Structure 1
Amino acid sequence: MKNQKSKLSILLIMFWLYTPYPLPCVRLYAEEAALKKAKQLEELILLNPKDAKAIQSLDELSEIYFAERQYAPLIEFLRKLEKINPPGPCDVPAGYYIALCRYHQLKYLEESKNWQEYFDLGNVYRQELFLETEKLAEACPAAPSGVRAQALNWLQHKAQNDAQAASSLAKLTELVDNYLKTNPQDIEVIKEVADSLSKEEEPALARSTYNIYINQLLSIEKSPLKLQSIAESALKEGKVSLAELIYDRYIELVKDSLAKDNLANELTAVIKQFAASGQDKGNDPLYAEKLFVILKEACGKSYFNQELQYLRAYNLERLKEYARSAEEYAGLVTDFPKNIYLDQAEFKLGVIYTYILGQKELGLGYWQKVIERNSALEYVTEGLYHKSLINQYLEDFETAGAGYAKITELIVQIGALKNLSERVLERQKEIRESRPIEYNLKTFLDATLSRPLDTKAGLELLVSPFKVISLKEEEIKFSLQQLRIEMGCFAPELSYLWSGDLGSIQPQPTAPEFTTTYKAPGVKVVNLVVLGSSGVIGSSLEMVEVY
């Protein structure tokens, strides 16, 4: 018998491998297994509805039916559960799961665009959801099921954007307060409410509710290591606000008890989870900077090695806190004169001081240091280019021409530095023919060299990703975000003047974004000026690192 089963299994595998449509068969088999498991759970729940494990089984049962989009069988079972030996509504809240089922069903009808059922039965489903949640919240105001029901009630009102959303939210906060007065053992329901508030963009309420949850957690859990583990889990789940609040409490607990070395290691590990490293945007660069401040105050500057000093400077750059970023890059250069980031840091300091902070002479000085060190061709040539460009703009054509000529001498791998070569040839032609600098670029220089760049003016240029590998020719997207212009009822007509190292693409003036690639390593500087009917609205720049 055992051999026959083995042969049958092999035959089934061979069938799936060699038939032209194996995936639907596998899917059908998985669906059958899931629905079989659901029936087993139903029998288990009905056997003893008052058992403490009934709620856990109901959660598992609901997840199966939701995953399979099987809403009617779940409703049918829950109605049966209410009638057969019904437990108290606060113990095994079948009504909550009925409402939850309708919530998922309504969302699925919208996502799948099943408008026939949505318009024919949507109001029926909504009314059933509101009826069940209101009934449960009224019957069990100090029970987890009542709080969960009211949270679901609010989520549906908010989804509909109706007039009852505000009162439903007020009712939810009231139930949470009432629940706290019962000295609850199940505090996960508080976290669930906070998660919903955070997801639905109610940050102030979410934060206060998370704080309530953490206070309850601290009354139960005293171990810093356990708190650290909970914070890490929250971060993995994408609950950044919760993770930050728990880490705050964790740091408060260990700050005065750990030796400096250990505290510095702990803070550094947390910082790296939130900072913008370049490989990703970071979970929250602003929170990382808060921890950098704590690290420096608690442990001292000596605990910042060159990697950590660079990370702080880079993190501030990504926050567009350019003045503070420049301070940290300058500190990196001073404190670690042979650091591996030296050319990159000084080149960026040249960009930041010249084009953003309005301190041209200081910026030119940093580019000159890169040029004189002559250790990395991509930074030497770009430093020369920017110095020559400034001289050309100031009409010192002799110095500018000499700089451009030097670049052409240094460039051996013309193919690798094609973009730079093209820009240099264009600048040389402008000087030779007594023409002004190309319009987009000159407009940017006019806007930035006359005064510091206003990074808070609402014109924000973003880049994604921050770092790429040139050999892979990975795509990089530059896009304008959060442009706020008061123009009455009319949409303004805008022009987008892109300039700088644009890579493989020449974006159109009608495009507020573009995607490009780079073949040569180095820091690529992309400039943007936005024009409206009245003239320049604002300017910005962004830097991306190519390796």
Structure 2
Amino acid sequence: MNRFRIWLIWPLAIAGNLAIGNWLFSSAYAKDTEELGKCICENKVKAEADNCLDKLKQSYWQDNKYSEFVDLLRNLHPENKSIVPSLSYYIALSRYQQFKYLEETKGWDEYFAKGNDYRNDIVKETGKSLEATALDDPLRIYSRLLIYQFHKDQQDTFTEGALSDLMSSTLEYAKAIGQKAMVGPQIAQANKDTEPIKEVADKLLSYDEKAKAKELYKIYAKGLVNSDIKDGALKDKAAGFYKDGNLELAQDIYDVYIERISKVLPKDKLISELTGIASAFSYQDSGFKDMFYAEKIFQKIEEIGGLEAFNEELIYLRGFNLEKNKEYRQAKDIYLLLIQKYPESKHIDEVTYKTGLIFTYILRDAKAGREYFDKLADKEGDNPYALSSLYQMGLLKQWEADFATAKGYYNKLIEKSERKVTDTFQMAQDRLKEIAEGTSMEHNLKTFMDTSLKEEFVNLDMSKVDLKSNIYQPKVDQAVDISSSTNLSSSGCFNVELQYLWSCDLGDAKPGVNQPEFKTTYKNQGTKIIGLVLISPSGITERSLDLIDAR
């Protein structure tokens, strides 16, 4: 169909309700424009007209024809006047998208020449939409969201007001559709209408408005609960949000799901369901995780079935999750449970060694720590945990100035390692050299030992500096990035100059005192302890540690 036929036939087809001026469309859009335009203008059902409007938008947007689409919308005059607010919204939405496109493509000539006109369109057309929509109309929420996004992106003074209006309108909307849901036949539609609440929450979360997003997610989850959704479908919803990385919403829905199944499932099946949820949120190097939520579910399992509900792998998973969440005292208790219940576990050497580390360097109880190192020291062969335990026992004796005993442990380590050059072997060699030459223990290491074991440093509770690794289960020779973040009180206008005394299992790295982070690799498997003492102009300020498991 040529442009002239469009000009003549279309107005006749829609009884004059679609006015076309001197502007005409290219033939590429003629068919879509005619059919969808007719659908919009003649349709008595608003939802169907809106669907055609969205399809028409896609037809133009795919080729970035934003202004052409706006011109078309301004010349549409639908018979059903309830569609008019949608036209206003889509004009504003197109201008917003046009801004994004010009920024991405660096179309600065049009951006600056037409920018004020486009901004006026966004404000004016969203205003029209808001004036014409009721509290329970999703379009009202989308209009509020659009104007908030616009002001937020512009970083102007209207952002806070737009955010407040958005939250108020969304809460009013939630209340309005909640009242609709009280009417039996409308319950399914009311449930469907909660989707705009989720979309607003998603967008707020992307703008880092976490508290407000969480508030709306809870409302959305409550809407699902109040619907006729089955337990299985509710679980699938939660799992879907988890896979999308929306952990806040996934947790809200899982909480509701757990509340439901707790009333109907037998204990064994309930524990099985909870175990799957806890495992999904537990620590893992890749994928989504929330260690706090995982422990919350582990506690729920314990409430229902006691510690007897935990098998070997579940005990280990819980302890490992607590450890990676820096809940070392609780992790120690779980590890002790594994040692007691499953002395032949494949994890026994790892958790025994970690228990020794936690007693020694977290709880400041070297005597208790030695007991666990001693359990491993006589293991046959070059077991990495046996070698590390011998090193720790030698280190404690060297720090106590019992050099003869320390030397014996280090030599035993070297003998058991069959002189294979590993990280632990090299550290033992360094300590033996210090003893042979009568020199002090390496400065950073001694400072870490002092701050971890001397009573005078008991106030250093690891709260002012946190260590993190990009991965906690690296393979041998895999690069590991270790960083620190501080939480020190403000010192006015001046930046506090800090020194970072790194020590312990640093692998092949030798980070300097001015490095808050470093990269390393490890030559052998086993648990590696990363120690840090923070020095400020006032002296020793804090200490911290982290544990990495080379696999």
TM-score (normalizing by structure 2): 0.85
Question: For 1:166-213, what per-residue CA distance to the aligned partner results, in whole angstroms no more than 9, with x for missing partners?
Answer: 222222222223323252452211111121222222233222212222
Q: Please say if 1:48 is aligned against 2:39.
A: yes
**1:54 CA displacement:** 4.2
- How many residue pairs match? The answer is 505
Q: Does 1:475 align with 2:482?
A: no
1:45-84 to 2 correspondences below 5 Å = 45-49=36-40, 50=43, 52-59=47-54, 62=57, 70-71=63-64, 73-84=65-76
Q: Contact 2:170/2:197 (CA < 8 Å) preserved in 1?
A: yes
The reply to whether residue 191 of structure 1 matches residue 198 of structure 2 is yes
Q: CA deviation at 1:148?
A: 0.7
RMSD: 2.5
Does 1:135 find its partner at 2:128? yes
- Name the counterpart of 2:448: 444
Measured at CA, do residues 150 and 302 of structure 1 come closer, stay the same or move farther in structure 2, by a change above 3 Å? Answer: same
Contact 1:96/1:133, CA 8 A, preserved across alignment? yes
Q: Deviations over 1:276-322 (max 9, x none)?
A: 03x33742111111111111101222221111111111111111111
What letter matches 1:322 in structure 2? Y
**Contact 2:382–2:417 (8 Å) recurs in 1:** no
How does 1:91-102 map onto structure 2 within 5 Å?
A: 93-102=86-95
The 1-side partners of 2:429 and 2:437 are apart by 12
Larger C-alpha radius of gyration, 1 or 2? Answer: 2
The answer to whether residue 505 in structure 2 is matched with residue 501 in structure 1 is yes
Q: Give how far 1:64 is off.
A: 7.0
Matches within 5 A, 1:239-250: 239-250=246-257
Q: Distance in 2 between matches of 1:79 and 1:116?
A: 20
Range that drifts further, 328-337 or 482-491 = 482-491
SS of corresponding position for 1:520: coil
Name the amino acid aligned to 1:364: R
Equivalent position of 1:27 in the other structure: none
The one-character-per-residue Cα deviations of 1:48-96 (angstroms, maximum 9, x if unpaired) are 0146344345445656766x5x44x134224313422335465771332
Of stretches 375-384 and 124-133 in structure 1, the one that deviates more from structure 2 is: 124-133
- Given residue 176 of structure 1, which amino acid in structure 2 is its aligned partner? T
Segments of 5+ residues of structure 2 without an aligned counterpart are: 1-25, 181-189
1:52-451 alignment runs, 5 A limit:
52-59=47-54, 62=57, 70-71=63-64, 73-86=65-78, 87-88=80-81, 93-111=86-104, 117-142=110-135, 143-179=137-173, 180-182=175-177, 183=180, 184=190, 186-277=193-284, 279-280=285-286, 282-374=288-380, 377-412=383-418, 414-415=420-421, 417=422, 419-450=423-454, 451=457
- Following the alignment from structure 1 to structure 2, what is the Cα–Cα distance between the partners of residues 89 and 166? 30
- Residue matched to 1:464: 470
The CA deviation at 1:411 is 1.4
CA contact (8 A) 1:528 1:539 kept: yes
The answer to whether the Cα contact below 8 Å between 1:46 and 1:81 also exists between their aligned partners in 2 is: no
Shift of 1:534: 1.3
Give SS of 2:532's match. strand
Equivalents in 2 of 1:39, 1:191: separation in Å? 36
Who is 2:22 aligned against? none
Q: Which moved more, 1:307-316 or 1:51-60?
A: 51-60
1:106-163 Cα offsets, whole Å, 9 max, x none, are: 3454455555554444444333222222321222142111111101211222233333
Write the letter of the residue equivalent to 1:244: Q
- C-alpha distance in 2 between matches for 1:201 and 1:351: 38
Q: Alpha carbons of 1:42 and 1:502: their partners in 2 closer, same or farther (altered >3 Å)? A: farther
Distance 2:368 2:29 in 1: 70
How far apart, CA to CA, are the structure 2 residues paired with 1:60 and 1:394? 77
Further displaced range: 104-113 or 167-176: 104-113
Does the C-alpha gap of structure 1 residues 105 and 404 become closer, same or farther in structure 2, counting only changes over 3 Å? farther
**TM-score when scaled to structure 1?**
0.86
1:485–1:374 distance in 2 versus 1, CA, 3 Å: farther
In structure 2, what residue type is equivalent to 1:99?
A: A
Aligned residue for 1:479, secondary structure, equals strand
* Cα distance between partner residues in 2 of 1:60 and 1:512: 53
Percent identity, aligned pairs only, is: 34
